[in-house]
Chains A and B, each alone.
Chain A
Amino acid sequence: MEVITCSALLSVSLLAQSSALPSVGYGAMAMLLLFIMGSMWIGVIANRATESSGFMKGFFLGNRGLGAWALALTATIQSGGTFMGFPSLVYSHGWIVALWIGSYMVVPITGFGILGKRLAQLSRRTGAITVPDLFRTRFHSPALGVTCTIFILLYLSFMMFAQFKAGAIIIKLAWPGSGELALSESTSVMDMRYHIGLVIFALTVVGYTLIGGFLAAVWTDLFQSLMMFVGVMILLFASLSAAGGLEQATQTSLQNTGPGFVFGPGYIPDGSPHQFLPLSLAISFFVVWIWGGVGAPAGLVRLMASQNTNVIRRSVYLLSLYNMGIYLPLIVICICGRALIPSLETTDEIIPRLALMTTSGWPGGSLVAGLILAAPFGAVMATVSSYLVVLSSGVVRDIYQRFINPHAERNELRRAAWATMIVAGAVSVAVSWSPVKYLQAFIIFSTSGAAATFLVSTLMACYWRRATRVGVFFSMITGALTVMTLYLIGIFELLPQPSIGAVTGFRPYFLFGLDPLIWGILSSAVMGIGGSLLSTPPEEELVAKMFGRID
């Protein structure tokens, strides 16, 4: 979902239409302020919760104390995109998007059942606080640790830049009295309000993450996930009532569009031969959402932080119920949206527009709409906070502590972590002040690249005794290079390809119609297995420590 977050965040642009609905801006701004104050408070509480422990494990891993709710609702879902880009796709292409997102039906068991228990155990056996820590110790290879660190810093930096821009735009548009109309990526949006929004966003998110570290990131994520659930439930009821039920909504939206809206491969508004979801991409997304999620570095860290196996078990069924209550209702909501608002030019606006329309006559409707509209802001803050923690842990643990000051005391480590977050925030503000054209392309690549780099290598680390540092190194490099190559071919249009997939400015090259991540995973697996079998077997003592019974 991350790949669609940035442009989708513009959905909140409807907030700007305060001249038509003057109370909306105040409701939304009130909710934004609530999110900001709530997050700061969470930061302080998180700080108190980790004060008595060792700094590294407390600040970067929450003392491995994540409970079921926190783990379930924050480890696998990328909620930033859930409320924004995904609804836009449903509104644009119709019911076919249910198949596009269909693999989320098994995310709860794949997200926790494939790596959860074993990764939590392995991270304890290795004493790992970060993902590079885990690989370094599991394979007894500093070089592998450095490789991981470089990849994580690279990917997360790009992924974080986009979130800063999105956060700034939300604040700008929620400003009471703002007369701005809907915006798009191509519109010039970098005015004074944007820059003020950028600074406020940066100060807020860096501030509370700096205070509370990993736990602050997780708890704000949990907070916004729950808010989002409440928002979806309210909007489901409101939109179904307004549309006259789902059957009526489907029929009306069909009349408003065309047959593609209710059948595959999906509706294309301009009637071009472009196909949103041909069979090859339907198969791709059943792989991409699942295995991409399993290999995401920020998710791996949260699994490492889980308290015990009972927590992992409970997370499975909590997330099952949550996903069921979020994704199918969101699809229904957006189908109703197409029936109620037939031709929305900026489709990213569907959720806020629907919220405004359906709650306008309610007592306190402004605040309800504000809650729905401000949820993306909470999602963006939580995402940035999570990236800041992983980024900072990479610098402090894997660079500062390893190579610069191995005997650093608690206060030195704390200062290093703070300095990293402040620098990361400052760089993000600088980059987002006037974003470069190809930034979005790097962000999209980073999401797939991270999964292609870490999925197979983590599976090998967890489950294969014969895996070697050489094999894992080749697995990481090959996965990353494969995805990067296919993205570069697509972005620069070096090879002709069929017109398929979501209509965006940057499309990868779909080799044989399949998503690049699939090729990344396959090549990573081939090189990982081949490289391991062809290299010297790992030391028996090391394997015993990682796999043997040692209680």
Chain B
Amino acid sequence: MNSSPPVAQPGASETEKPDPTLTDPLVRSSMREALLVTAIWFIAGTWSISVCYLMGYNRSVESLKLVFGFPDWIFWGIVIPWMTCTVVSILFGLIFIRDGELGQDLENADDLGLGG
């Protein structure tokens, strides 16, 4: 939803004041990751629903095939994508998500002197 905001340059001065024209790198990386995750969700959903619907709805019982005990449409439409998503999630957590500073909490959150 952010319309291409500018990016903060690495190595900015520690005393640098907030600048509405600069976007924090963590905001940018979070948004990038959120978009990728949404794409993964969409692909997984499309795959699962399509395969299950095309292979698993309104079939005759004689056509049932089992793969490792699972009905074939469950195996290809759920088990395989689930395993794939688990691998993708692990790689996503290990490699893709970029670490960053979350910033300092307000000194005395018990008080109501909140920013803003």
Binding site for B on A (CB under 8 A): 54-57, 64, 95-96, 98-99, 102-103, 105-106, 108-110, 113-118, 120-121, 124-129, 133, 136-138, 140, 245-251, 254, 259, 262-265, 279, 282-283, 286, 290, 308-310, 312-317, 319-321, 323-324, 328, 332, 401-402, 406, 410, 413, 459-460, 462-467, 529, 540-545, 547-551
Contact = CB atoms under 8 A, between A and B. Distances in A.
B92 A109 contact: yes
B102 A54 contact: no
Contacts, number: 272
The 5 lowest CB-CB distance pairs between A and B, nearest first, are: A246-B69, A127-B106, A316-B93, A549-B8, A113-B37
Contact of B110 (A54, A121, A254, A309): A54
A551 B20 contact: no
Interface string B69-96: 1110110011101110110111011100
Given A64-B105, A113-B37, 17 more contacts: A95-B71, A105-B85, A110-B41, A121-B24, A124-B104, A127-B105, A251-B66, A262-B71, A263-B56, A263-B58, A263-B61, A286-B48, A309-B100, A320-B93, A324-B86, A541-B20, A547-B24
Contact of B99 (A56, A124, A309): A309
Contacts of A279: 49, 53, 57
A329 to B, nearest CB: 12
Nearest to A462: B30
A324 B37 contact: no
Given A102-B78, A127-B106, A463-B31, A286 B49 contact: yes
Given A254-B61, A282-B53, A544 B115 contact: no
B99 A137 contact: no
B19 A98 contact: no
- A interface majority secondary structure: helix
Nearest to A287: B45
16 contacts: A124-B104, A126-B115, A127-B109, A128-B114, A140-B116, A263-B57, A313-B93, A316-B89, A320-B85, A320-B86, A410-B110, A466-B1, A541-B18, A548-B23, A550-B103, A551-B103
Contacts of B71: 95, 250, 262-263
B97 A264 contact: no
Contacts of A309: 26, 97-100, 102
Nearest to A98: B78
A259 B27 contact: no
A432 B94 CA distance: 46
A456 B55 CA distance: 34
B93 A99 contact: no
Contacts of B77: 99, 102
A102 B48 contact: yes
Nearest to B1: A464
A57 B109 CA distance: 7
B46 to A, nearest CB: 9
Contacts of A121: 24, 26-27, 30, 102-103
